[in-house]
Amino acid sequence: MSGLPFFGPDTLEGLFEKFLAPKSSKKRQDEDLVAERARLTSTRREAIELYRDIFRASRAFVWPNEDGILWRDLLRASARQEFEQARHERDPEVIAKLLVTGRDAVEAAVDKLVDKHKAAMARDRASGERGE
């Protein structure tokens, strides 16, 4: 050997622990971090998409409730409150459940609105045919 002093592990196991194990665990940590960021980005994107869909759907609710407040405004305020309450949620299962539940609620509300609109159109058509 050269005359330089060696200040490292003196066994093969020590060399593995010092130079090989940290790299594999660091690589695994990096891969986990990338996967976590991709998952968060995906759920954030889904949450933003759901929030926008709620706002779009709420445009159709233009009649006031008993207190004179437009249903559109109530729906938007309720959606904002729900999203704010879930803002710091980190459990992926809870987040997925919230997104699915929210999506189902929006679809159900829009479906009911469409059904009521179709029924109103049918009533108007029927009353027009009778000459009323």
Would you give per-residue pLDDT tens digits along the chain (132 residues)?
Answer: 455 555 555 666 665 666 565 555 667 777 877 777 777 678 889 999 999 999 999 999 999 999 999 999 999 999 999 999 999 998 989 999 999 999 999 999 999 999 998 998 999 888 877 665
Q: Which residue has the tokens 């009323």?
A: 132
Residue 38 within a domain = yes
Q: Which two three-digit tokens encode residue 53?
A: 């869909």
**Dist. CA 94–CA 128, nearest whole Å:** 51
Residue 2 within a domain = no
Residue 115 within a domain = yes
Q: Which two three-digit tokens encode residue 113?
A: 């609105």
Structurally, the chain folds into a number of domains equal to 1
Expressed as residue numbers, the domain containing 49 is 12-129
Residue 5 within a domain = no
Residue 1 within a domain = no
Residue 64 within a domain = yes
